[in-house]
Amino acid sequence: MPRNTKPVLAKCIFTWILLLLCTAAFAQEDEIIWSAKPSKKEAIYTNNERIIYKVEVKNNLKTDQNGKLTYTIFSPNNKEVSSSSISVNINKKSSGKYQLSIPTQSAGFYKVNIMLNTNEYDDTIRRVIGINPQQVRSVTSKPADFDAFWDKAKDELGKVKPDFKVTAQPDSDRKNTNVYLVECKSLGNITVRGWLTLPKDRKPKEKFPVWVILPGYGGEGVKPIYGSPQMAVFSFNVRGHGNSRDVVHTTTEAYVTTDVENRNKYIFRGALMDCIRAIDFVETRKDLDSTQILVSGASMGGYLSIALASLDHRVKLCSSNNPVFCDYRASIGSKEWPMKSFTDYGRKRNIALNTLLYNLDYYDLKNFSDKMKCPSLIGMSLLDNLAPPANVQAMINNIKSKYKLFVFPELAHEVPPSIYTYLSNWTMDRFGLF
């Protein structure tokens, strides 16, 4: 770029940024801004507590605004159970504060719609509240042969020679970290892969605690993570994800229904055995401390993490955010994924939904979690339509080991960065990394 064009370019960029800021400012000057906050930060209540939403309304319009502030509460099966309104009168260029008092309900999670309707403005804030969530229970029980089913799968995995192969990736090394491609054989003799990162500056015979990261749903998988100089990080891809897609390479939509009509061939049987094989690999390395293993993931990765920690007690810490595939049967009739995928799959192939659900009982996370022995961190977002809080809570209430639950009332299928900061500090404390 010619030198004399730089000042012109800088001036253009500055003008563009200023224009954006001014546009945002003008927009706020000509609208209503409002918020609704629960009286309890996590929006979780007991049935003896008052449920209050504090509403603030800022009227930036040049006219007075008069109307109503309304709440409507819906039961877990989406039936309206309560509704009420109060009047709002806000002068132009002024603010108002209001309180909505919502009657308590029986144990469960309830949708709350808060509506502001004035002469020039209509909007709705959608929230969810939990009431006595520790009382939420699934109405279906674990199959009697659940443990035997998974013992058989582990026995089959044990007969597959792992053939671990580790290949240095010099072109990927950076930030004082060595990167290695890990390959191994898993159930069905399928090759699965992951990425191991280790600090370059390590002492002879030094052993590192291991952080195993499992992939979310969708095929992209996980890639090398350049982490702490005090830990090894194993980013592991189960079949059909990331660099483990050469044999199993379904579409994103088809993955969750692959062989679901046969519980002995369902794709997640192999995927969970892949996870156990990842722990097998950790045990083979003299530079990895197999007594200090953390597994973590979000969404499908959250599911895999809790299921793995329940099946394999070599896992010592578990972190799971918004885990999917909890309490399948509670979502019968749902138009959301994954229940919609199962319903559509069965209809197209003339397979009864109950047949699929019978098989899925062996893969429901709530049926694994009572076997987990290690401490865990769990993130749950109340607006999550893919991992609904009631479904996740039914799974959590089966856990017998110690856990810490983080609830995020204004988030959907996501968690804030703060939970990862907590995870880092918690792991370092648990593993004695100072």
Question: Mean pLDDT across the stretch 206-223?
Answer: 95
pTM here is 0.91
Q: Between β-strands 51-59 and 80-90, what pairing exists: parallel, antiparallel or unpaired?
A: unpaired
Give the containing element (helix H, strand E) for 426.
Answer: helix 418-430
The residue out of 135, 156, 180 marking a domain boundary is 135
Which of 338, 410, 414 has the alpha carbon at shortest distance from 379? 414
Overall residue count recorded for the chain in this entry: 434
Question: Mean pLDDT across the stretch 377-404?
Answer: 98
**H helix intervals, 189-264:** 252-255
The residue out of 110, 135, 160 marking a domain boundary is 135
**H helix intervals, 105-220:** 146-158
Do 240 and 224 contact (CB within 8 A), yes or no?
no
Integer CA distances (angstroms), 213 to 129, 250, 261, 420, in order:
31, 22, 29, 13
- Among 196-205, 239-248, 262-271, the range scoring the smallest mean pLDDT is 196-205
CATH of the domain at 184: 3.40.50.1820
- Structure confidence at residue 30 (pLDDT): 65
Residues 194 and 152 reside in one and the same domain: yes
Whether residue 16 has pLDDT greater than 70:
no
Question: Mean pLDDT across the stretch 364-376?
Answer: 98
Residues 156 and 94 reside in one and the same domain: no
| Number of domains making up the chain | 2
Which of 330, 413, 406 has the alpha carbon at shortest distance from 367? 330
Residue 434: which pLDDT band, with cuts at 50, 70 and 90? confident
How many whole angstroms separate alpha carbon 426 and alpha carbon 423?
A: 5
Whether residue 8 has pLDDT greater than 70:
no
Whether residue 1 has pLDDT greater than 50:
no
Give the DSSP letter string of 20-34: HHHHHHHHHHTSEEE
In three-state secondary structure terms, 64 is: coil
Question: Mean pLDDT across the stretch 175-196?
Answer: 96
Tokens matching residue 183: 């390959």
Residues 153 and 131 reside in one and the same domain: no
Q: Can you say how many angstroms the Cα of residue 139 is from the centroid of all Cα atoms in its chain?
A: 23
Residues 108 and 182 reside in one and the same domain: no
Amino acid at position 247, single letter = V
Whether residue 18 has pLDDT greater than 70:
no
Residue 24: which pLDDT band, with cuts at 50, 70 and 90? very low
Residues 107 and 222 reside in one and the same domain: no
Whether residue 5 has pLDDT greater than 70:
no
Residues 114 and 185 reside in one and the same domain: no
Residue 117 lies in a domain: yes
The residue out of 135, 170, 187 marking a domain boundary is 135
Give the containing element (helix H, strand E) for 14.
Answer: helix 6-29
Question: Mean pLDDT across the stretch 52-59?
Answer: 96
Residues 165 and 115 reside in one and the same domain: no
Do 215 and 221 contact (CB within 8 A), yes or no?
yes
Question: Mean pLDDT across the stretch 140-146?
Answer: 97
Question: Mean pLDDT across the stretch 2-22?
Answer: 39
- Structure confidence at residue 32 (pLDDT): 94
The reply to whether omega before 338 is within 30° of 0 (cis) is: yes
Residue 105 belongs to domain spanning: 33-135
In three-state secondary structure terms, 222 is: coil
Q: pLDDT digits over 64-111, tens only?
A: 999 999 999 999 888 999 999 999 999 999 999 999 999 999 999 999
Q: What is the mean pLDDT of the chain?
A: 92
Which of 307, 223, 243, 233 has the alpha carbon at shortest distance from 271? 307
Amino acid at position 70, single letter = T
Residue 248: which pLDDT band, with cuts at 50, 70 and 90? very high
CATH of the domain at 85: 2.60.40.10
φ/ψ of residue 97, rounded to 5: -120, 135
Residue 140 lies in a domain: no
Residues 72 and 186 reside in one and the same domain: no
Residues 225 and 265 reside in one and the same domain: yes
Whether residue 40 has pLDDT greater than 80:
yes
Residue 10 lies in a domain: no
Question: If you search the block for the tokens 């898993």, which residue do you land on?
Answer: 186
Q: pLDDT digits over 294-314, tens only?
A: 999 999 999 999 999 999 999
